[in-house]
Homo-oligomer: A and B are copies of this chain.
């Protein structure tokens, strides 16, 4: 994690999104160093797998790799933790959308329902409220991945095995509920599934497209 500052500069130049073209001497100015040091930094970042490079006559084209982005993101999380009030809840914002209707099915299964009742303290209404998160909140939401939350265990049935997941207590205005995050690796990360003892759509008078913000308690 020594060259994170150089990596940050590259990111600010847009290298998280697209290849940027830059020479060692240009980059030297960015990080206030000599071209030699700049060159060394880029070598080190490449060696560490944080960036990928292609050389062109005018310099090099640089793109930050996934693991580079991950490194930056974890730095970002640390600063978020510093400025997050109390550091114990995060606020997510999005608009109400129609879900896939899966929530209704899963929540009504005994294997899940019992766990929700004992671990969350309420019997979930059979049906979830789906929020399409804003870009900003999608980034924030990833912090839930880092937190263990309240684990919901999977269980086998006669025909198939139902996967596990985790949930978090959530407050929607004055209403209590929970966010459900399945362990499935390909779960869309801009979708937030919220459950409560009541039908949230009716209780809050929500319709598709309405904006809503929820406070997730870590």
Contact B136 A78 (CB under 8 A): no
Q: Mark A54-77, 1 if CB is under 8 A from B, else 0.
A: 000000000000000000110110
> Assembly of this chain: how many copies?
2
Q: Known: A212-B211, A213-B213. Is A8-B91 also a contact (CB below 8 A)?
A: no
The reply to whether the CB of A79 lies closer than 8 angstroms to some CB of chain B is yes
Q: 20 A-B pairs, CB-CB below 8 angstroms?
A: A8-B78, A8-B82, A11-B82, A12-B78, A12-B81, A12-B82, A16-B82, A72-B79, A73-B83, A75-B79, A76-B80, A76-B82, A79-B79, A85-B135, A91-B93, A91-B134, A91-B136, A93-B213, A134-B213, A213-B213
Interface, chain A (partner B; CB < 8 A): 8, 11-12, 16, 72-73, 75-76, 78-85, 90-91, 93, 134-136, 139, 211-213
